[in-house]
Structure formats: C-alpha cells, structure tokens
Amino acid sequence: MKQRDKVKAKMVWTFDLIEEVERVPETYLKQVENTDGLYEIRIQQGSDIFRIFCFFHRNNLIVLANGFQKKTQQIPKGEIDKALKIKKDMNQKTNNIMILEEFKERHYGKIRTPERDELEVGYENFKLGVLLQQARHEKGLTQEELAQRTGTTKSYISKIENGVKEVRLSTLQKIVELGLEGKLQLSIQL
C-alpha cells in the first residue's frame, strides 16, 4: 500500500474511532487552543504528521475540507483562519456535507468488496491498538512494563498499539488479563 493510501485509510479509521469510542485520546482529536470550537484530527503515519480541522454541529462531527501536513509544533495561523472561514460558511449552508459512509463507498467501495473489507479489518486492528494504549495509560504502565508482565517485547506492544501487527487472541487475552489486570470481552455481531 502506498504512503498516500495508508494516510487516507488511517484518516478514515480515525473518523470511525471518533464516531465509535466514548473518550477519544488527544493523540487523535484535540481542541485547537484559542478558537471557538475548532478541533484538529491528528494522523501520524511513520514520521509524517497530518492535521484535518473539524468541529461539532448538532452533536455531529463535521470534518472540514482543509487539512495539512504539520512540519512544526505550531499550527500555521493561515490554516486556522481558513478552517474558521470554512466552519462559518458550513454553518450557514449544510447542503455540501458528505457522511462518512458515502466517503467510504466512494473511495473504498460498498461493504463486502475486497478493498472495503481490507479497510474495515485495518480499522479493527487500529481500534484495538488505541484501546490497548488507552488502557495501558490508565494503568500508568510503559510499553516496557506491559511487555515484561506479559512475556512479550516492548516492540511487539508498540506494533499492536500502532496497528502494525495483528495480535493473536490468546496473546491479547494475556495482555489484557495479566498485563493490564482487566477482563477481555468479545462479542459477535451478525
């Protein structure tokens, strides 16, 4: 998969995460300081960092059309101004909004097509990594400490948290129960 395609997939996974998870880590969604309700969706692929502006309107996340690759710690003022103008315009007219499902169909095809299935499987791995990372942080553990508790390596924990490596169910259970002192719950949806 090309770098551009990986970034696009991670962007969609982040949108899904925001829609599905009750508390989204600041690593993925953070309010932009000194703005009126402007947020940034944060996507990192390797050493590249991307930002996409968004805001909430009637309890729905509205993703703005402008995004940029972040090269410094500060968000360029021109990018914030552009996002605030788009936000103002979108609040006045909402006929140009595409929902996430429409975006997925346009770029990845309908559900149960190979490209869409690959996107959805990737999302489940991404979400699992985010949930494990959140739980590890809540327990105050480093990746190294979690790895020691579960008989794995820091590198393996990092790969799971970053969605790079799929985890076997037995290993996941060991990480959750031994490492995090939690309980793993699974469900099947038909």
pLDDT in tens, the chain (190 residues): 677 788 889 989 998 998 888 888 888 999 988 888 888 898 888 788 888 888 887 777 777 767 778 777 778 888 888 888 888 777 676 566 778 899 899 999 999 999 999 999 999 999 999 999 999 999 999 999 999 999 999 999 999 998 888 899 999 999 999 999 999 998 888 8
Does one domain contain both 36 and 100?
yes
Does one domain contain both 138 and 47?
no
Residue range 17-50, pLDDT digits in tens:
988 888 888 889 999 888 888 888 988 887 888 8
Separation of alpha carbons 176 and 179, rounded Å: 6
For 128, the domain range is 114-179
Does one domain contain both 121 and 91?
no
Last residue in a domain, options 72, 107, 142: 107
Residue 186 placed within a domain: no
Residue 188 placed within a domain: no
Does one domain contain both 128 and 61?
no
Residue 103 placed within a domain: yes
Does one domain contain both 71 and 8?
yes
In total, how many domains does the chain have? 2
Q: What is the pTM of this model?
A: 0.80
Residue 187 placed within a domain: no
Does one domain contain both 159 and 127?
yes
Pairing label, strands 48-57, 60-70: antiparallel
Does one domain contain both 85 and 149?
no
Residue 189 placed within a domain: no
Last residue in a domain, options 89, 107, 125: 107
Does one domain contain both 103 and 120?
no
Residue 133 placed within a domain: yes
Last residue in a domain, options 92, 107, 122: 107
Does one domain contain both 165 and 128?
yes
Does one domain contain both 103 and 158?
no
Does one domain contain both 102 and 14?
yes
